[in-house]
Chain A
Amino acid sequence: MTTPLTMPSVEAIDLWKRYGDRDVVQGVSLAVERGQMLGLVGPNGSGKTTTIRMVLDIIRPDRGTVRLFGGRISQAAQAKIGYLPEERGLYKGQRVLPTLVYLAELKGLAHAEAQTRAYEMLARVGMAEHANKKVRELSRGMGQLVQFAATVLHRPSFIVLDEPFSGLDPVNARIMKEVMGELNQQGTSVLFSTHQMTDVEELCDNVVMINRGATVLNGPLLDIKRRYADNAVYLETAAPFASPASAVEVVGRGRGHLIRLRPGTAPEIVLCELLDAGVRVDRYELATPSLEEIFIRIVGEANA
């Protein structure tokens, strides 16, 4: 079964889940297009993991619909998914290679093929020499890389990674990001949840932000940043300059300056004013907030 190019890998519509007397997920919707990398961000306990589990049919939503590759969740669809859960673990008493082979066979690979791919994947993440070690002999980071290898070795069309970089040192995190990038380049869709906003900014095209179980942001990262941008520009100049008429405030940062504009002033006006005043401008860009700043602003407002 091939997935049409236009069809989202996953589409979750209005998911709800209640535990006890608390709605832990309240109407969350998201879609991951083919070849897209979507970041699911939110504070701890915001409902990210529950949303992911519903998307993967590990738990059933109380309400809402999930479509995988345009259809209902089936065994065939399940076989095309790779999942790295937040709570990571492998069979501690078993050896690395047989564990990977077993998990790949559960995803539909034949034994021999699973074995070949397991070796390849272990080599790719730098773990080939540990293939015959027992899982309990590995460090935590090594265990995570092995589990990541298990997640992707059956070459899924859609991978779901829940807090993939948590607990990884920078070198291993880089390896994982490289593999994610390679798979994404080959057309694999990626949904990953994190509370590390820098990872989302580095890797994702689209973002869904949830807080207390509800969606607070959903869309392309650039659009969101523009939407939350202050009316400000960032520029670097060769020499100091007088505050232009369109500015409310100029904050100097060495050669760089953040200029907050009067309401209603278009950003290019300040550039014209400075050029007219004979200021040499070396760098000019719209000042957009980081995702972390947006996150803190939204969550802070919601929790206030």
Chain B
Amino acid sequence: MYDFLQYEFIQRALITAVLVSIVCGVVGSYVVIKRIVSLSGAISHAAFGGVGLGYFLTVNPVLAAIPFSIASAMAIGGVEKKVNISADTAMGILWSVGMALGVIFINLTPGYAPDLFSYLFGDILTVTNSDLLIMLTLDLIIITTVYIFRREFLAVSFDEEFSTVVGLPSLPIYMLLLALVALSVVVLMKVVGIILLIALFTIPAAISKQYTHNLTKLMSLATIIGIILASVGIILSYIFNLASGATIVMVLAAAFLISYYLKD
């Protein structure tokens, strides 16, 4: 019985670590080099509205979070580019409005919301098989999109204005990138939690950025580092009976400090 549990735990932990790390390596690299870390943080918090909506409609909150986080990504991106409001202010507003909506939806839902805490702070033990299936699908969508639009994403991340001048549809491409951030948030949500996921999103890419100046290599390296660190975090959280999200974040933070120390 114990052996079986351990076997299934390890297997699930590894699958989860891989699925989670791919989006962190690929989309996280863009987030770090395009300097949209806070914007991604806002998208992830706003996604909580989708979780609440899922409870309210009694569908899988992970599924409900997909359209919701994409919509909030589009709102943040659109406001930032089109309206005369500073991006900073727009992010702050959508950040809290998304979370407020989530709380209200949960209030309106009769009964108790059992896994609520896990969406906020992450709990690997609550990841169901259908969650894994959703994560796998989103991973495939993200990788395919990045492969198709790799030239555009690189150009827009480096210099949006120049990209427009050479005829690249910069704004739609930027919005597509934000949509990928939104999908990544959904992939990471249950493992690390909405509040903590920005660390997993950025740290593997930030570490890897010190060792390569090729984007493909950066993405691969960040993915591998992510898999190792997330697995370590998941296993430690199991051994010490801690929340997976917080443990993964602490492992990442330690690795980040060590990598900077080693580099100097």
Q: Do A and B bind each other?
A: no
